[in-house]
Chain A
């Protein structure tokens, strides 16, 4: 069974993350991903970067992944606001 830790590993291999948190139950996962790779990118393009890092695993292992994607600047603003 896929674990949140395994998904974290896959993501770290493909994306340089400032902050990464993955939780889930083996079928449904949630990820918060903060990376400067998202700067200047649309929401769709950001998610495509994440799906690209997961590759075929998205088809085979991971039934559902819900994600929030932020740049370091956006993340700092969110942290400051909460």
Chain B
């Protein structure tokens, strides 16, 4: 299975997937820490997260998958939602919580 297939499988197998540096408990980058905190604030206590620092192939592959050069990256129901700036904007406007509530339910 190619790395792109692995990523596609991950993002479709779980309703909410966050690719980040480190873990929600031990984030290794401020942007990843923010992203995990925003999900928590939206009521997603245990998102499926992938630590790209543990997997260099995914770290590179995820950038190609979404044509997006930075991490974190959030996927909801298989769809790329955005990075930390977009997550913050959508959190502040209430859009993100709405999307997450729909995805969970």
Q: Which residue of B lies closest to A58 (CB)?
A: B69
A48 touches B85 (CB 8 A): no
A58 touches B82 (CB 8 A): no
B82 interface neighbour in A47, A59, A64, A68, Cβ under 8 Å? A47
A17 vs B51: C-alpha distance when bound (angstroms) = 36
In the complex, A43 has a CB within 8 A of chain B: yes
A-B contacts counted at CB < 8 A amount to: 30
Inside 8 A of B69's CB, which chain A residues have their CB?
A: 51, 58-59
Q: Which residue of B lies closest to A43 (CB)?
A: B86
Within 8 A of A (CB), among B47-91: 67-70, 80-86, 89-90
Interface of B is mostly: mixed
A82 vs B105: C-alpha distance when bound (angstroms) = 38
Q: Which residue of B lies closest to A28 (CB)?
A: B30
Within 8 A of B (CB), among A37-76: 43-44, 47-48, 51, 58-59, 64-68
Inside 8 A of A47's CB, which chain B residues have their CB?
A: 68, 82-83, 85-86
Indicate the member of A47, A58, A68 with the most B CB atoms within 10 Å.
A47
Residues on A facing B (Cβ under 8 Å)? 43-44, 47-48, 51, 58-59, 64-68
In order of increasing CB-CB distance, the 6 nearest A-B pairs are: A58-B69, A43-B86, A51-B69, A66-B85, A44-B82, A67-B85
